[in-house]
């Protein structure tokens, strides 16, 4: 089982890397849901933790976009 993604670790990453991580997590979630529907998944908590990891990555991406918008607004 994968370890939990920490938001403080994500904040150091570039936006492109965060977007790749988000896409990977969404693909993992799709696969886990597929396994769950076909009764092949043993631990259903993996789905929950993946959803939360997606939320963490999305939150950090939103923070980065807000901070970039504020920086542009301050330049004007």
Q: Which fold has domain 15-75?
A: Helix Hairpins (1.10.287)
As a whole number of angstroms, the distance between CA 43 and CA 64 comes to 33
Domain ranges of the chain: 15-75
Tell me the pLDDT tens digit for each residue of 28-68. Answer: 999 999 999 999 999 999 999 999 999 999 999 999 999 98
As a whole number of angstroms, the distance between CA 10 and CA 17 comes to 9
Distance of CA 4 to the CA centre of its chain: 11
Residue with tokens 């849901």: 33
pLDDT of residue 50: 96
B/e letters for 18-34, b = 16+ CB within 10 Å, e = fewer, are beebbeebeebbeebee
pLDDT of residue 2: 57
Give the model's confidence band at 23: pLDDT under 50 very low, under 70 low, under 90 confident, else very high.
very high
pTM of the model: 0.86
């Amino acid at each position: 089982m994968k370890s939990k993604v920490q938001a403080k670790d994500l904040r150091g990453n570039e936006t492109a890397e965060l977007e790749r991580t988000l896409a990977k997590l969404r693909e993992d979630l799709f696969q886990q849901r597929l396994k769950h529907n076909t009764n092949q998944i043993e631990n259903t908590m993996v789905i929950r933790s993946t959803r939360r990891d997606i939320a963490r990555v999305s939150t950090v991406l939103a923070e980065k976009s807000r901070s970039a918008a504020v920086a542009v607004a301050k330049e004007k």
